[in-house]
A and B are shown apart, each in its own frame.
Chain A
């Protein structure tokens, strides 16, 4: 049915989107690559020429590199663990018969729609403030000394804030996946006397495998880029400087563009490794 004419028309209709995205991807990428091989200090002399791989070596050998990798891993890993485990449990619960399911769903999903700067500020002040925060009230009520959350337990606090934001996403996707499970299979297993834990382990969990993979991959990409939550709460202090935040500081705060760009290239490579796996999961679905 598709004639030669409609094919060229189709190509023309696709062109604006493709060209724009190509430019959006290639132009900044090439610039970052170029800067990463230069000594480039916009406020202290500008472009000071090519330096080979020096920036790449300096970025990884600086004393803040490994701590930032650790902070990134803890935040990404911690949030993934919390959101996937609680997301599965919550999805299982929400899939049960109950009254007011629709309203509970709305309550659970709400945090996802709160802008990151608001959730970071609300948690920082109204919950984690060591004097007036709700947690401080709670601690004092039980006779304990309030914790200075964002300095004494900074990484845990950030993990908590970010998990709160992403739990709805994980729950919603896992719930969608659970709802597509064939209920007859579960009923048959129940008739045959399979206990709940076995039913979960042998039927529900394998069925959720693909959804969990997708949740983990998509969240990883977003979590690697967590920015506003740190910007607003600690500004990268108290061990919360992630790889993303370190690059941001190198580029915009200390205006060492060459060094920051080398870091940026590392971040791009890292994100691409995750993205390849995500693409495979998505691509498989396209064939179906």
Chain B
């Protein structure tokens, strides 16, 4: 009897959760579907859900017309470059905070986080001006630096959390066995730290890929990544739904896939360990 009730409840839960899940996912699904329609079918009333003539034409047009590959390449360089650079700078810092903590470690960590709270718009003009002076406005290197600095606190924080979980006894044991510092780092610590570094890399790549304040305000023609490419699509209303969808699908697909792998890190990474 009790079992039957549980089974019934499970069915209700499943239906409700799937219904809401699909509702939330619907805009993305609709965008992907529309990208395979012709422009006429994309705006037909009543809307067609699946029974349309599937076509890849829109993807061809977007790729051909808009130099999509350059925007994609800019996104890859900017998001990848800023994340890797951030990790190179953050690893030693997080390392020393996790293994040689001092009384000030906590204060330094909190201070680093506080720099993340600074509203970008408050420092927009100084950054803009510095960029002009240095000649790096609308350049990829400029955005790599800004996005690296923007995400550095999160990177340090995430790495610190991972490193702290590596037991200190293992290091001591290695030292007892006469491992040099170099061997200790290379053969003992690094293998244990790789999963942590990988998930930090993933989450921050996603954050940098989607960043849309600095990328919109500090780029023009040359260094614009996909965020700016999509923003430039806003002009002709109504007539280009299918092409807009194709462009959007290409911009979000890689990140959606990466994102699904990083769900777990998302919580610890974005709440700075305040929710476990």
Q: Which residues of A contact B (CB under 8 A)?
A: 1-2, 6-7, 9-11, 13-14, 16-18, 20-21, 24-25, 27-29, 31-32, 35, 90, 93-94, 96-101, 103-119, 121-127, 129, 131-132, 134, 137, 140-141, 164, 167-169, 172-173, 176-177, 180, 210-211, 214, 218, 221, 224-225, 227-228, 231-232, 244, 247-248, 251-252, 257, 260-261, 264-265, 267-268, 270-272, 274-275, 278-279, 281-283, 285-287
Contact = CB atoms under 8 A, between A and B. Distances in A.
Contact of A101 (B16, B17, B89): B17
Given A244-B119, A267-B119, 17 more contacts: A13-B93, A13-B96, A32-B126, A110-B256, A110-B260, A115-B227, A117-B212, A118-B248, A121-B244, A121-B248, A127-B27, A132-B45, A228-B227, A248-B217, A267-B121, A279-B113, A286-B109
A87 to B, nearest CB: 11
B155 to A, nearest CB: 9
Contacts of B256: 110, 113-114
B178 interface: no
A136 to B, nearest CB: 8
Contacts of A278: 117
A10 B102 CA distance: 10
Contacts of A29: 118, 122-123, 126
Contacts of B27: 111, 119, 122-123, 126-127, 164
A169 B274 CA distance: 14
Interface string B219-261: 0000000111011011001100100110010011001101110
Given A14-B92, A228-B213, A282-B113, A94 B238 contact: no
Interface in B106-133: 106, 108-110, 112-115, 117-130
Given A11-B96, A265-B122, A109 B259 contact: yes
B189 interface: no
- Of A109, A115, A177, most buried by chain B (CB within 10 Å of CB) is A115
A272 B217 CA distance: 23
A225 B120 CA distance: 7
B231 A251 contact: no
Interface of B: 6, 9-10, 13-14, 16-18, 20-22, 24-25, 27-28, 30-31, 34, 43, 45-47, 89-90, 92-93, 95-97, 99-100, 102, 106, 108-110, 112-115, 117-130, 149, 152-153, 156, 172, 206, 209-210, 212-213, 216-217, 226-228, 230-231, 233-234, 237-238, 241, 244-245, 248, 251-252, 255-256, 258-260, 263, 266-267, 270-276
Of all A-B residue pairs in the complex, the 8 with the closest CB atoms, nearest first, are A113-B259, A28-B123, A10-B96, A13-B92, A264-B122, A31-B126, A228-B212, A107-B21
Contacts of B228: 117
A169 B45 contact: no
Contacts of B263: 105-106, 109, 172
B212 A115 contact: yes
A274 B113 CA distance: 13
A50 to B, nearest CB: 17
A105 B6 CA distance: 21
A210 B100 CA distance: 30
B241 A132 contact: yes
B275 A176 contact: yes
Contact of A90 (B20, B95, B251): B20
B244 A271 contact: no
Interface of A, helix, strand, loop or mixed by DSSP: helix
B20 A113 contact: no
Contacts of A109: 259-260, 263, 266
A116 B214 CA distance: 13
A99 B95 CA distance: 42
A121 B124 CA distance: 24
B275 A117 contact: no
A116 B210 contact: yes
Given A14-B108, A17-B93, A252 B124 contact: yes
A13 B172 CA distance: 20
A121 B231 CA distance: 8
A231 B241 contact: no
A96 B9 contact: yes
B131 to A, nearest CB: 11
Contacts of B92: 13-14, 16-17
Nearest to A285: B274
A168 B109 CA distance: 27
Contact of A132 (B43, B93, B130): B43
